[in-house]
Chain A
């Protein structure tokens, strides 16, 4: 791996994104707006809002970066630029790392804005460290990048790639305890939830929100980091030098 290629790729991805002002605006504005909407929907049930607000702040980057990565990788594959890159002296991990750096940066900006609105205007309280919420959100963004990279190999059109969000991510977010806490779900569903990565990401954020930063939080973070590594490794195998 070379830092030069990673940095060049991150810079190129950010240059492309910078051109797309509308997407940038949506990335920054939509999460805090949705959070504000939820705050007013749950106006009469403040504890319920309080329970899901912090996890949501940290889950937005995962969803958004998953979608953005799926689409950009699919474009690289269909436009021939991936084939060109694969014929150049470039390590696959340089390309992936370049994407990860660029999107992690965008996710950090997104989360800072969302957190400022949540903690400053919407009265969301964090008993643990607010900086840890941002750190977990950026980690989740990387999980989104890794999953998007891997799953984009199974989409042949942007239409399909977009469908992977409700197909792959949404069930996991529902199983995380967005509507019903994890421990009040049927036993069978709890087993399913325990086998999937997103409930761990959600749980980590919920624990930081309540100030419960014990060993279970460490396990949550370990599972998320492990999933990132596995997804990146699987994603790298889908970037082939030779194609049929």
Chain B
């Protein structure tokens, strides 16, 4: 794996939504060319951190640099792919119509076939997205994020509602992409997925609790499993 400096550097990031402090001075670094897992209980700020990385979240303080450029800079829109938690595709269009539209916007029409194969939606490409199952819909949304062959892929719970076989296939795809040099930031709360990450970021209540490889986190807590390590790390002291 090539390491050419960090892909993402977050320093002192604060986000306030309504009257709630969602991120409290978060610092973290995400290495290029690795699959980094973002973990934590629901409501801990994972999605907000991802939105801030993509540049669609209004922030109250701190800085985020993606490939040494401030997050949200127009040139990054070609280099960052984002998949939201709820599938953001048009329900009243077919899979292929959705992809053709986003591909035309990005001027990457050559990629439509490839991404359909990549997420395994070939047999449903002419189905309306609203007629698909939840898992198929989120794969359609993932396909859009893959269209631009981004250097950084930010995926918010991409495997929710997928059967174990498909999940394993998608994780193999993530690692293939990382081997080819793509940086991936993936949020999850499934433990076997956390085990598949190169590095992990653990959050709780808007704070970054721990960073490291799965093995490092297990060693730090002297816990037998990753799950036990997380319980030890996230339990309020």
List residues of A whose CB falls within 8 A of some B CB.
Answer: 4-5, 7-9, 11-12, 15-16, 19-20, 79-81, 83-90, 241-244
Contacts and interface: CB of A to CB of B under 8 A. Distances in A.
20 contacts: A4-B107, A15-B93, A16-B90, A16-B93, A19-B92, A79-B88, A80-B87, A81-B89, A83-B88, A84-B84, A84-B102, A87-B54, A87-B56, A87-B77, A87-B80, A88-B102, A242-B55, A242-B58, A242-B59, A243-B56
B132 to A, nearest CB: 15
Given A12-B93, A12-B97, A85 B105 contact: yes
A8 B104 contact: yes
Interface of B: 17-18, 54-59, 72, 74, 77-78, 80, 82, 84, 86-93, 97, 101-102, 104-107, 128, 144, 148
A242 B56 contact: yes
Contact of A86 (B56, B102, B128): B56
A20 B130 CA distance: 13
A89 B88 contact: no
Contacts of A87: 54-56, 77, 80, 82
B93 A5 contact: no
Nearest to B148: A88
A83 B102 contact: no
Nearest to B89: A81
Given A19-B128, A88-B77, A242-B56, 19 more contacts: A8-B105, A9-B105, A11-B101, A12-B101, A79-B86, A79-B88, A80-B87, A81-B89, A83-B56, A83-B88, A84-B88, A86-B56, A88-B148, A90-B77, A241-B55, A242-B55, A242-B57, A242-B58, A242-B72
Contacts of A16: 90, 92-93
A88 B93 contact: no
B103 to A, nearest CB: 9
B77 A244 contact: no
